[in-house]
Structure 1
């Protein structure tokens, strides 16, 4: 069974790629089973909790209609853990044990598995700013208040490229591919191109517009000001108004 597992990284156009897969699912289904984040949440929850990831993945796989001849595509960036916030020495400190657990679960299917791990990446500076903007936008307690410079100092202790290098070194012999999303910008299907290439099929796939892009830096700075100044319901309402104005929406 051929498997393409796309477990990360966050803020590397994963939402856009997953929107493409979802929009084209009827064309993909005859050639591959498709698993996107909402469907595999039980495994992501085990990753977040530091639980039995291999067991959760094995149970999940048993619930799918798979066979030795079936191709499987899984894309879910939370399988590597929470979106990095700079509070640990590496962006994904549990990456290797989690990936080994996922690979072990695939090996328990009872037939040969031809696994390809795919990691979408991007330039470090853009990745850091996109993470920063996402955390500033989110409503959580306590609110995120780091300046971009403060966040860069923490999140950059282990660059994303080095995180990927550690994964490669820790999984010798495993087929691992990666693509910088900037290099995919001119591809026919943008950040979804690696999935189309994996399928190796010619089909009338429909491209999708970019999804979940970071808000402009001045808007993020405004959200940070609110995070530092407001609390409770007033903070939530003020941030919602700023986001809606920036996105051209109304309440």
Structure 2
């Protein structure tokens, strides 16, 4: 019987990219004890979760059920290794896009995933949803940068912060998820401000939940933090570009070039 299942389902901009890079880099070592799955392994499921977050209705929640069923049915319930899944898109789209100002869909998505998992693995396998979090101000600043560089967001930071203020109440979302999946699953969380200083950085809480022994942890290769905002004052530049008359394709090219230059400068510093 599968030992345990841990699903790292969010939140965006809380060190998730760094966690996933660590899992990918150390997959061969980790998979001696735990089956590791990242977004490319269950792309149809994350796509369905994102669709539902924008358009919640019986048809789109069925899309999650179908995608989840197809993925979990492909996993062997008799494999004694644990299961680790990680993708922040399991909570839906990043707030600030598609008119979303909160993780309204997260609790409904986790409830649907729980039902599919219990159908496949039974009621005895421990199931935990883990969410990395972040302090309100830092989370708002980080999501602002993400949306600024990836979309045509034309709000300044103050207006943006007011518009998606409900999304920054991550503890409220956690309570909603816990209520939705109880008693069939547990919910755990830790702020990035705490996990980043642990021995394996933001990967540490997941290793703890999976009971990965120290002998295995000592073999893992560490990586520098990823997807970090460059400290070069690009926010104002990107905001001006988003407000400009550039066509979308030219805007994307300009942002890509600036980010490449920023990364190159960072590497040379």
TM-score, length basis structure 1? 0.91
Distance in 2 of aligned mates of 1:147 and 1:217: 17
Deviation at 1:160, TM superposition (A): 1.8
Deviation at 1:181, TM superposition (A): 0.8
Match of 1:108, SS state, is helix
Stretch of structure 1 that moved more, 20-29 or 199-208: 199-208
Distance in 2 of aligned mates of 1:245 and 1:161: 37
User: 2:103 is matched with which residue?
Assistant: 92
The answer to whether the 8 A contact 1:16-1:210 is kept is yes
Distance in 1 of aligned mates of 2:138 and 2:121: 42
Match of 1:58, SS state, is helix
Distance in 2 of aligned mates of 1:230 and 1:152: 25
User: 1:242 is matched with which residue?
Assistant: 258
User: 1:119 is matched with which residue?
Assistant: 131
User: In 2 relative to 1, CA 242–230 (structure 1 residues): closer, same or farther, beyond 3 Å?
Assistant: farther
Higher helix proportion, which one?
Answer: 2
The answer to whether the 8 A contact 2:111-2:180 is kept is no
Deviation at 1:30, TM superposition (A): 1.1
* Structure 1 position 163 matched with structure 2 position 173: yes
Deviation at 1:55, TM superposition (A): 2.0
User: 2:147 is matched with which residue?
Assistant: 135
Match of 2:237 among 212, 222, 228: 222
**Gaps (5+ residues) in structure 1?**
none
User: In 2 relative to 1, CA 110–240 (structure 1 residues): closer, same or farther, beyond 3 Å?
Assistant: closer
Match of 2:233, SS state, is helix
Deviation at 1:49, TM superposition (A): 2.4
- Superimposed CA distance per residue, residues 185-243 of structure 1 (whole angstroms, 9 cap, x where no aligned partner): 22111000012212322211111110111233721211110111132243223222221
* Structure 1 position 148 matched with structure 2 position 160: no
Stretch of structure 1 that moved more, 129-138 or 62-71: 62-71
Match of 2:264, SS state, is coil
Q: CA RMSD in A?
A: 1.9
The answer to whether the 8 A contact 2:39-2:86 is kept is yes
Distance in 1 of aligned mates of 2:253 and 2:65: 41
* Structure 1 position 26 matched with structure 2 position 28: yes
Stretch of structure 1 that moved more, 114-123 or 235-244: 235-244
Match of 2:221, SS state, is coil
- Superimposed CA distance per residue, residues 6-41 of structure 1 (whole angstroms, 9 cap, x where no aligned partner): 100000000001111111111111111111111111
Query: Superposition pairs for residues 172-187 of structure 1, below 5 Å?
Result: 172-173=182-183, 174-187=185-198
**Gaps (5+ residues) in structure 2?**
53-59
User: 1:231 is matched with which residue?
Assistant: 246
Query: Superposition pairs for residues 35-54 of structure 1, below 5 Å?
Result: 35-50=37-52, 51=60, 52=62, 53-54=64-65
User: 2:55 is matched with which residue?
Assistant: none
Deviation at 1:68, TM superposition (A): 5.4
Distance in 1 of aligned mates of 2:95 and 2:34: 31
The answer to whether the 8 A contact 1:133-1:217 is kept is no
Match of 1:210, SS state, is coil
Deviation at 1:179, TM superposition (A): 0.5
TM-score, length basis structure 2? 0.85
